[in-house]
Structure 1
């Protein structure tokens, strides 16, 4: 699993998240509302607990989190969202998975197809690329003075993490889906703060891009992420070292 993500890609993603914070909060709010349909208490609802952790890592205000939980639990008026997944190929044969939460699946399907078609991609059938990915938990901790690499690694592995990567400016911890919550909570109790903490799709192999293809792939990803129904975009692109997004 080592080496599947580079710090400059994580950094670029974080920068875009900071710039689009309002939109990020809207997307995470939808996830919280969907998770809360199975129970509004994080103590008894593991999925809700994990999404709340993702929200906190994104600095989402507590009152916004609470409001999203109440919408999902039916205490406030909300919208019923359906989760749909699309798969396809981007420029240079990059594998792409798009997760959506939508109240109009016809709109969602049409928009995603349009974005693929207009940006050098091809939308495929379900299963056409997902076999290239594994569902995993990913926790990213920024390297700071006073944080010892060996201590972070041992804390993560002792809690049940599968892999630990020390990147240029962050520590990346990979877990199974089942152990994600346990590892995250153990690191939280140890006082570590996260840049991100979420369930994600990690590619088994990467497609190396040149600068020209990197620009095309990034444009496709950006267009997909800008769509109101799209929650997450996963891909197996490996951007050039000099790529700044």
Structure 2
């Protein structure tokens, strides 16, 4: 789990950039659309939809926008149909990169993502070229500040709920689950008064590559360019950058 934790630390230092970029609503709307289309429009029985709605509310998305997106997904309102895609490739320094997307035009999206990789010394690869380097995991993070429980108590609560792993980082606790147990663990801990800073099913790298110098700088540029693309929902990569290196990059 070191790979996810290290990158999580970088994200904390960089800040929640999606919100600052003003593109968060677009990404959340597409996730709501995809979740409702695949699992129905009832968040009580569609946990993926419930997660997306919770994320939308945290971002202060208007309720009308949420419901309109669900109605479009169910065919109640004519609109654009999105396709779920996963692209894989390599970044500077041989870093493995996986990208989850929602697109209304597969050919356009593929060309644009390929251009982003090529411009930043990366390479968009074939399906399966790096997927084997990642494990699908549920990850829940709890900010230490304001957590009503001690580390030992939270650890026991998480394990009792069915979590696979528990780690203490600088300013947050990280709870790991299998994808199948993610919903039940989250619900059990929420029921005991736990509030999560992040709760998602994600790809976690099995091993990581430590980057320095130009490779580190270019990889961050690639990661940020991918995140900024309107069709990209999430980016996963197996690199680490030390705090000292981050300070050099600025």
Report the TM-score when normalising by structure 2.
Answer: 0.90
Map Cα deviations across residues 71-128 of structure 1 (whole Å, 9 max, x no partner): 2222334321001111110000000011110000011000010000000101111000
Task: Tell me, yes or no, if structure 1 residue 144 matches structure 2 residue 150.
Answer: no
CA distance in 1, matches of 2:60, 2:181: 23
Structure 2 vs 1, CA of residues 147 and 212 (structure 1 numbering), >3 Å: closer, same or farther? farther
Which residue is equivalent to 2:36?
A: 36
Q: Gapped runs of 5+ residues in structure 1?
A: none
* Cα distance in 1 between the residues matched to 2:62 and 2:200: 18
Query: CA 1:14 to 1:75, structure 2 compared with 1: closer, same or farther past 3 Å?
Result: farther
Paired residues of 1:53 and 1:197 also in contact (CA < 8 A): no
Q: CA deviation at 1:62?
A: 4.2
* Count of matched residue positions in the alignment of Structure 1 and Structure 2: 244
| Superposition pairs of residues 145-184 of structure 1, within 5 angstroms | 145=146, 146-184=148-186
- Give the match's secondary structure for 2:23: helix
Distance of 1:182 and 1:89 partners within structure 2: 34
Q: Is 1:240 aligned to 2:242, yes or no? A: yes
Instruction: Assess if the C-alpha contact under 8 Å between 2:3 and 2:238 holds in 1.
Output: no
Q: Give the direction of change, closer, same or farther, for the CA distance of 1:12–1:68 in structure 2 (3 Å limit).
A: farther
Once the two structures are superposed, the pairs formed by residues 1-245 of structure 1 within 5 Å of their partners are 1-2=1-2, 4-6=4-6, 7-12=8-13, 14-20=15-21, 22-37=22-37, 38-56=39-57, 58=59, 60-145=61-146, 146-242=148-244, 243=246
CA root-mean-square deviation: 2.0
Aligned partners of 2:169, 2:58: CA distance in 1, in Å? 19
**CA distance in 1 between partners of 2:133 and 2:153 (Å):** 32
Normalising to structure 1: TM-score of the pair?
0.91
Q: 1:57 & 1:204 partners in 2: Cα distance? A: 31
Structure 2 runs not aligned, ≥5 long:
none
Partners of 2:31 and 2:3 in 1: how far apart?
Answer: 29
Q: Does structure 2 conserve the Cα–Cα contact (< 8 Å) formed by 1:90 and 1:220?
A: yes
CA distance in 1, matches of 2:160, 2:57: 24
Q: CA deviation at 1:61?
A: 4.8
Greater mean deviation of Cα atoms: 155-164 or 60-69: 60-69
Deviates more, 1:229-238 or 1:60-69: 60-69
Q: Residues 136 and 174 of structure 1 are in contact (CA less than 8 Å); yes or no, is this contact kept in structure 2?
A: yes
Aligned equivalents of 1:191, 1:71: Cα separation in 2: 34
